[in-house]
Amino acid sequence: MRYEIPSPMLAKAAAAVPDPSKAAGGMLFEPKWDGFRGLIAWDGETVEIGSRGAKPLTRYFPELVEAIPQILTAPCLLDGEIVVATGEPGSQRLDWEALSQRIHPAASRVALLSEQTPAMFIAFDLLALGEEMLLDEPFAQRRARLEGLLAPAQHPLHLTRTTTDRDTAVRWLAEFEGAGLDGIVAKPLDQPYAPGKRTLIKVKHARSADVVALGYRIHKSGSGVGSLLVGLHDADGVLRQVGGVAAWSDKRRQELINELAPLVERDDAGAAVTGEGERSRFTGSKDVSFVRLRPERVLEVRYDQLEGARFRHTVQFERWRPDRDARSCTYDQLETVAGYDLDDVLA
């Protein structure tokens, strides 16, 4: 028996935790784990881990490949999240940077990191059990089957906690961010599994900040602004790149070229000065150069969370702030989140 790993079921964003009474069959709320989406297939002989983008993740997490057969009592296909936790006992939290380090081409490096920063798998759906495919079953039944399967499970395999109470979900949204979680997911209890469809609801933290425009990259089409790089001043007054703004319309991309032209830094010959953007294991050989701007223009952006000294995801443009001095755009304006022990989320 060999499972075919489907595209994962997805979620659409909402501004607030939904009212479960508005769903015909009710809803189940779960914490939204900030990691790599993973579908684990255990056929009784081998373990395969697929990703949201259909990229095989099996080779990057040998500790999970080794542990899963020892924990599961039957062949199955699980949907969940791969996460890495760091910190001292009593103050652990999810660590995106440590998790992203795990995607490395060298097998020796992968083996070392599997010992230094071992991963966990947080299961939240069951798509197959033995020879029985469960995608057409309502989520309520899949969840009940999952609870039965993982009742004896132990670290590094965990069953995500759930609640049907909206007030509890609202509290989780506020508290669990301190452990590095990303928000809340609401799942209709009467729906089948829909690969690739956005039939779930996610609620993430949303905040705003005033940032400085540092430069822009040309759109992949070769015309217009593809993304705008932004920065903040640290405690020493150094302006640091913290992320980027994208998702402009075709028309807006062209308009921005003209709007930002007066700010473009130029050399003695009048040519635009370019800078080299930060690279990661995800950019590979991709061109990360950008056109540098004089750091004078301020914009307000919406963001969900900070990871280290950078925004965790691409931020959204809100408005220009001509009333703000670029020097006033500092890290001090960002909201500080109270710590919350990851073990209490896993409990």
Candidates 1, 85, 83; CA nearest to 38 is 83
One digit per residue, pLDDT tens: the chain, 347 residues?
789 999 999 998 888 999 998 888 999 999 999 899 999 999 999 999 998 767 899 999 999 999 999 999 999 999 999 999 999 888 899 998 899 899 999 999 999 999 999 999 999 999 999 999 999 999 999 999 999 999 999 999 999 999 999 999 999 999 998 998 989 999 999 999 999 898 999 998 778 889 999 999 999 888 899 999 999 999 999 999 999 998 888 899 999 999 999 999 988 877 788 877 554 444 445 566 889 999 999 999 988 888 878 888 888 998 888 778 898 899 988 877 778 889 999 87
* pLDDT for res 83: 96
**What would the DSSP string read from start to end of 118-184?**
-EEEEEEEEEEETTEE-TTS-HHHHHHHHHHHHTT--TTEEEPP-BS-HHHHHHHHHHGGGGT--EE
* pLDDT for res 282: 40
CB 342 within 8 A of CB 180: yes
CB 227 within 8 A of CB 299: no
CA distances from 136 to 2, 35, 47, 127, 193 (A): 19, 26, 23, 9, 6
Cβ-proximal residues to 34 (8 Å cutoff; 6+ apart), any chain = 81, 83, 94, 96, 180, 181, 182, 312
What topology does CATH give the domain 207-333?
Answer: OB fold (Dihydrolipoamide Acetyltransferase, E2P) (2.40.50)
Cβ-proximal residues to 172 (8 Å cutoff; 6+ apart), any chain = 29, 31, 163, 184
Domain 207-333 in the same topology as domain 10-204: no
pTM of the predicted model as reported, rounded to 2 decimal places: 0.75
CB 70 within 8 A of CB 64: no
- 32 has catalytic annotation: yes
Q: What are phi and psi of 331, to 5 degrees?
A: -65, -20
Place of tokens 């909201």: 335
Candidates 309, 95, 96; CA nearest to 209 is 309
**Which listed residue (12, 22, 32, 220) is catalytic?**
32
* pLDDT for res 277: 59
Cβ-proximal residues to 239 (8 Å cutoff; 6+ apart), any chain = 212, 214, 231, 232, 233, 295
Domain borders along the chain are 10-204, 207-333
* pLDDT for res 337: 76
Residue count (the chain): 347
* pLDDT for res 15: 85
* pLDDT for res 314: 85
CB 180 within 8 A of CB 94: yes
Beta bridge partner(s), residue 37 = 81
* pLDDT for res 306: 81
* pLDDT for res 287: 60
* pLDDT for res 286: 56
* pLDDT for res 288: 66
* pLDDT for res 89: 85
**Domain boundaries 10-204, CATH class:** alpha beta
